[in-house]
Structure formats: C-alpha cells, structure tokens
Amino acid sequence: MKPLPEIKVYPKRPVLDDRPLERRVGLIILATDHTTEPDFRRMVASERIGVYVARIPYANPTTPQNLRKMQPALTAGAALVLPDEKLDAICYSCTSASVVIGDAEIEAAIQAAKPGVAVVTPPMAGVRGLNSFGARKISILTPYTVETSRPMAAYFAAKGFEIASFTCLGFEDDREMARIAPAALVDLARQATHAQADALFVSCTALRAALAVTGMEQAIGRPVVTSNQATAWNCLRLCGDETAHPQFGRLMTLPLPRD
C-alpha cells in the first residue's frame, strides 16, 4: 500500500455568502405526509427560495382527538428546521389539525422555537385566498369523515363565510387520501360546488389537489382554493415573490391581501 499524501489546509478562508439561498421557508409536516413536499418543490422552491422540512409524529385514523395530539410536537418540530437560524415563513401543513388546535395556539408553539417568524396554516391561508377573490358564499370539499369535517365547517363559518354546501368523502387514513387521483378531484369538485357558491375550498394537505386546480376551476367556472396551493401562495408572497403561476390556479396570480 502506497503512503497517503500529506493533507494541507488551504491558507485562505473562502468568502462566505450571507445565506446559501436568499429566502427560507420551513415546513412542519406529518410523518405520514406524501404530498406537501412534492407540492412545495413544484410551487415554492427555486434558486432563490429554499424549503426546509421537519416531520412530526402522527398516527391514523384522522380524528379530532388524534389531530390534537400533534400540538405538543410543534415546538420541537420547528426547532429542527435550521436550528438557530431565521426563517422567512414556516408552515404547519395540516388543515384539519389546524382548525382543531387553533391558529393562535399553533403560532405560539412554533414561535416558542422560532421567535417572530411568520406562521402559516392551511385554513388561515385558505381564508386569505378566498378573501382575495371576495368570496362570501362558499362550497367546501374534504376527504374526511363527518366528525373531522365539523370543526372545518365551524372554522370557516366563524371567519364570516356562508357555507352553501359541504361535502366529505369519509376517509380516515391520510395515506389513502393521498392516493385519490387528481382527475377524480375534478369530477368531485363539479359535484360538490353549489350553484350559488362564489368559490370552492378543497381541504387537506394530503390531497394532490394542487395538480387539479386548473381542471377544477374550468369544471366549475369559478375560483378554487386548495390547502397546499394556498399555503404555497402565502409563503411565496411572504418571501417577496410576486410571480404569477397560473398553472396552479387563479390564486397563484394574486397578491397577498392585508389581514
């Protein structure tokens, strides 16, 4: 065996950039999540914006009780996303858990680890998206059971929306929700949208609904707001990215409204 070469330390330290990427978006997702990461790669990540993910424990079935169990893990999950470094936004990617736990409680838990960070939840982003269209009367489509859908209806009603119709699919496992084909969601949107609704909200970060938004909008002739589309839009705008992405629906062409 030949002797190893001498290892030399380069005498000058390279100049460091302030950040590897200009903007940073954190994601806290469920251990079982199949959909959020691919969606954010498509809709948010770029040469300018980095997306950084932490997974937290979650066990099916998707019930209000199981969803609420994630709350204690939110602070630890946020702390794992680029520890001791600032983020431009952080999203907790679970719509049904967000309405059960509450936006304010989620924000407090995340900011305990990341003080001052802008916190985004899917229902919060959904409300902002619907408000951007001036929608007041809405239809809602979820993959959940009736039990898990009830808090969702209460959330949007409390935000001042009139719910013209609410349709759920009765699924209990978020991994099965992720297997619903985007093409099937187009037909479901057509059937779930009330004739008098201003817009349709499609709930659940497990659904591959972002891939079906333009088809759903063409099918029903009005705006469609989905969980991952809305959070991606919200995070992009918080990063100062105002680029229109019409391939992901009308919402992706709009500015973020002031709350």
Q: What is the domain-level CATH number for residue 135? A: 3.40.50.12500
Are residues 164 and 75 part of one domain? no
Average pLDDT rounded to a whole number, residues 8-26: 95
Q: 209 and 240: one domain?
A: no
Note the pLDDT of residue 79: 98
Is 12 within the bounds of a domain? no
**Within this chain, do residues 51 and 133 fall inside the same structural domain, yes or no?**
no
State the average pLDDT for the chain: 97
Q: Please, which pLDDT band fits residue 175 given cuts at 50, 70 and 90?
A: very high
User: What is the domain extent for residue 172?
Assistant: 124-227
Q: Is there a domain that residue 48 lies in? A: yes
Tens digit of each residue's pLDDT (9 = 90 or more) over 76-105: 999 999 999 999 999 999 999 999 999 999
Number of domains composing the chain: 2
Q: Would the pLDDT of 2 be above 70?
A: yes
Q: What is the pTM of this model?
A: 0.95
Does residue 8 lie in a domain region? Answer: no
* Domain assignment of residue 118, yes or no: yes
Same domain, 160 and 146: yes
| pLDDT of 150 above 90 | yes
Overall average pLDDT of the 165-185 stretch: 98
Q: Do 134 and 84 share a domain, yes or no?
A: no
Pair 185, 210 in one domain = yes
Residue 49 domain flag: yes
> Do 86 and 128 have their domain in common?
no
Please check whether residue 4 lies inside any domain of the structure: no
216 & 237 share domain: no
Inside any domain, residue 135 = yes
- Percent of the chain whose pLDDT exceeds 70: 100
**pLDDT of 191 above 90:** yes
User: Is residue 35 situated within a structural domain?
Assistant: yes
pLDDT score for 155: 98
pLDDT at position 204 is: 98
pLDDT at 258 over 80: no
Spell out a b/e string for 100-128, using b for 16 or more CB atoms within 10 Å of the CB, else e.
Answer: bbbbeebbebbbebbeebbbbbbbbbbbb
Same domain, 179 and 235: no
Q: Provide the pLDDT for residue 1.
A: 84
Give yes or no: residues 235 and 114 share one domain: yes
Confidence (pLDDT) at 259: 63
Residues 91 and 217 in one domain: no
Query: Are both 45 and 106 inside the same structural domain?
Result: yes
